[in-house]
Amino acid sequence: MRGMSKPARAAALFLAVLTSLLALSCGGGGEKARKSGEFIVGLEGSPSNLDPRYASDAHSVRIVPLIFGSLLAESPRGELLPDLAENYEAPDPLTHKITLKSGITFHDGSPLTSKDIAATYRFVMDPSNGSPMAGSLKALERIETPDEKTVIFRLKELFVSFPYQLRLGILPERLAVKKDLGEELIGCGPFRLEKIKSGEEISLVRNDFYFGGAPKLGSVRFRILQNATTRLLELKSGGIDLLQNAVPPYSVKFLEKEEGLSVIRAPGPSYQYLGFNFDDKILGNEKVRRAIAHAID
């Protein structure tokens, strides 16, 4: 079973690394970050959309889980873990029942209820809204909310990967029915959105009322640095504290020798493929394609 996409797994790894660093309150340029209570992350590109119903690129999915809670979360190893859910059960292959944790509130102070879950998922299910997640919910027939803490997903056909679709960031019902939220991105994650400087940076501040306990740091700032050399110089000088997969491979061995920096390695389960245009005069020849296949180790 294919659990999650490459961006999603990269996001899970990013969150795991960030969480461990936050617990230690240190990073690459740690001294500066510790004094200001701010942790700075370098991104190689701008997130396309921080609305969880539309976020699908690698940059967006690293930030969205910090702002929004989801029913289930995922570890870097692909294990599903409870987030907003207190309990998850599947009494039969077409029924998935979630019981929500008590006492969870959104950044605006409103309580999380089953209606928020239903509204968020129903918006994504509607093809007219153009969510890139709509295809992954085609097997979902309806959502029931028998009470404020219970959500029941009814499937019309077997979909073994459905539990992985429970990682969608949840919005308050009043926002979940809207298509364009602008910067009104309210979730119940550990940080809330402070400001967006388009093409430059995104700032998050601590959610002191986070149900999992207030983060140790006061804020996380994502700086968008498209030039690889600039990212390396900023990392070495303390202008940023963390880079993930945003350094040239040749630079890793030098960074490992740099005092004050730590290089963390982790498996990156993914796949690469070559797609052939069969209409091409040369590639349309099966013998040519077979030769290419044999030539690649």
In this prediction, what percent of the chain has a pLDDT beyond 70? 87
Q: Which residues fall within 8 angstroms of residue 291, CB to CB, at 6 or more apart?
A: none
pLDDT score of 166 more than 50? yes
What's the pLDDT band for 176 if we cut at 50, 70, 90?
very high
Asked if residues 221 and 204 have their Cβ atoms less than 8 Å apart, the reply is yes
Helix (H, G, I), strand (E, B) or coil at 201: strand
Look at residue 78 in the predicted model and tell me its pLDDT.
82
Return mean pLDDT, the chain.
Answer: 88
Q: How far apart are CA 171 and CA 164, in angstroms?
A: 18
Asked if residues 71 and 117 have their Cβ atoms less than 8 Å apart, the reply is yes
What are the domain boundaries of the chain? 69-176
Instruction: Dump pLDDT digits (tens) for 4-44.
Output: 455 555 555 566 656 655 554 444 444 444 445 899 999 99
Place of tokens 């995104």: 202
Q: Which CATH class is domain 69-176?
A: alpha beta
DSSP string of 108-172? Answer: TSPBP-HHHHHHHHHHHH-GGG--TTGGGGTTEEEEEEEETTEEEEEESS--TTGGGGGGPBP--
Look at residue 230 in the predicted model and tell me its pLDDT.
93
Cβ atoms within 10 Å, residue 130: 11
What's the pLDDT band for 297 if we cut at 50, 70, 90?
confident
Look at residue 140 in the predicted model and tell me its pLDDT.
98
Q: Cα 263 vs. chain centroid, distance in angstroms?
A: 22
Q: How far apart are CA 84 and CA 100, in angstroms?
A: 6
CA atoms lying within 13 Å on the CB side of residue 25: 9
Helix (H, G, I), strand (E, B) or coil at 272: coil
What's the pLDDT band for 221 if we cut at 50, 70, 90?
very high
Look at residue 26 in the predicted model and tell me its pLDDT.
40
Task: Give 2-8 contacts, CB < 8 A, sequence gap 24+.
Answer: 2/161, 3/74, 3/78, 3/161, 3/164, 4/74, 4/78, 4/164, 4/167, 6/58, 6/270, 7/56, 7/57, 7/58, 7/61, 8/61, 8/74, 8/167
Helix (H, G, I), strand (E, B) or coil at 72: strand
Place of tokens 């690293």: 62
**What would the mean pLDDT of 196-211 be, rounded to a whole number?**
95
| Helix residue spans in 43-90 (DSSP H) | 60-67
Look at residue 24 in the predicted model and tell me its pLDDT.
44
The b-or-e profile of 10-23 (16+ CB within 10 A means b, else e) is bbbbbbbbbeebbe
Query: What is the bridge-based pairing of β-strands 191-197 and 85-92?
Result: unpaired
Look at residue 25 in the predicted model and tell me its pLDDT.
42
What's the pLDDT band for 73 if we cut at 50, 70, 90?
very high
**What would the mean pLDDT of 98-117 be, rounded to a whole number?**
98
- Which range of 8-12, 57-61, 265-269 scores highest in mean pLDDT? It is 57-61
* Spatial CA neighbour of 244 closest among 9, 25, 49: 9
CA atoms lying within 13 Å on the CB side of residue 238: 12
Instruction: Dump pLDDT digits (tens) for 245-256.
Output: 778 888 888 888
Q: What angle do CA 169, 175, 180 make, to 5 degrees?
A: 90
What's the pLDDT band for 260 if we cut at 50, 70, 90?
confident
Sheet containing 85-92: which strands, arranged edge to edge? 85-92, 95-100, 150-155, 140-147
Instruction: Dump pLDDT digits (tens) for 119-132.
Output: 999 999 999 999 99
* Torsion sign over Cα 202, 113, 115, 174: negative
Q: Which two tokens stand for residue 205?
A: 């501040």
**What would the mean pLDDT of 185-212 be, rounded to a whole number?**
95
pLDDT score of 289 more than 60? yes
